[in-house]
Amino acid sequence: MTGADITPADITVVTAVRNGAGFIAQAVESVRGQGVAGHVIVDDGSDDGTGAVLAGYGDGVQVLRWSASRGQSAALNHGCEVVRTPFVMFLDADDLLLPGHVARVARALRQSSADLLFGGYTEFAEGAAALRWQVRDGVQTGYITSGACVRLVALRDAGGFDPAIRLGAFIDVVMRMRARGAVEQTLPELGVRRRVHGDNMSITQRDQRGDYLQVARAALARRRLG
């Protein structure tokens, strides 16, 4: 496939969710109308009614369910196993794709040879969360999972997500792909609304922040070997 041939139909969205009954419907709806090949959702052992919410979807939404949680990284790997398009876009279960984001990504891919493509995002909070948690103003950029588009063969060549890493797993993937010569691109356009709430992994898994140090050490070791 040449860059000139790439359309949103060459992209599949993958979402991992655990106990996201309050958010997952909005995430699914934000993908609808984007023209993607499909939306693969891995229910990572939810016990809060997420399964009942997802049961109401068909037509392009493929739900894979585990009875017990194996972690976000394992769930994302499992979702990618069933993807048949050359590109995969990730979306966290509590975040939202903005209208036209996938079309903008496809257009950028037609004009480049990018293996990793990122866009800007804004943060938002609702209800009590807006009073408790800090929300950054303005458009942010960085290596967040939501809205990122990855060439599937490059992701697989890098080994996919490391299930041993709870926090920073996507940064680890980026670093490993970069070490293998992956081409990166960042779009100036806004693509994602990132929800801030008490169940964000960066909040609930603070005790796993040592994972970031593990990721940094691994990246440094690869650089020395290279």
pLDDT in the model for residue 222: 41
pLDDT in the model for residue 19: 96
End-to-end CA distance of the chain: 30
The Cα–Cα gap between 193 and 161 comes to 23
- Nearest residue to 166 (alpha-carbon basis) of 16, 9, 13, 14: 16
- Count of Cβ atoms closer than 10 Å to residue 56 Cβ: 9
- Nearest residue to 13 (alpha-carbon basis) of 204, 226, 206, 192: 192
- Count of Cβ atoms closer than 10 Å to residue 204 Cβ: 11
Tokens of 14: 């993958």
Tokens of 118: 């990122």
The Cα–Cα gap between 61 and 64 comes to 10
Q: For domain 3-225, give its CATH number from 3.40.120.10, 3.10.580.10, 3.90.550.10, 3.60.150.10.
A: 3.90.550.10
pLDDT in the model for residue 130: 81
pLDDT by residue (tens digit) across 32-73? 999 999 999 999 999 999 999 999 898 899 999 999 999 999
Alpha carbons within 13 A on the beta-carbon side of 46: 25
pLDDT by residue (tens digit) across 145-198? 999 999 999 999 999 999 998 888 999 999 999 999 999 999 988 999 999 987
- Count of Cβ atoms closer than 10 Å to residue 52 Cβ: 10
The Cα–Cα gap between 24 and 149 comes to 20
Give the angle subtended at the CA of 87 by the CAs of 83 and 88, to the nearest 5°: 60
φ, ψ at 171 (rounded to 5°): -60, -40
Q: Is 35 helix (H, G, I), strand (E, B) or coil?
A: coil
Give percent of the chain above pLDDT 90.
Answer: 74
Q: Model-level pTM greater than 0.85?
A: yes
- Nearest residue to 8 (alpha-carbon basis) of 149, 173, 157: 149
Give the angle subtended at the CA of 76 by the CAs of 74 and 79, to the nearest 5°: 110
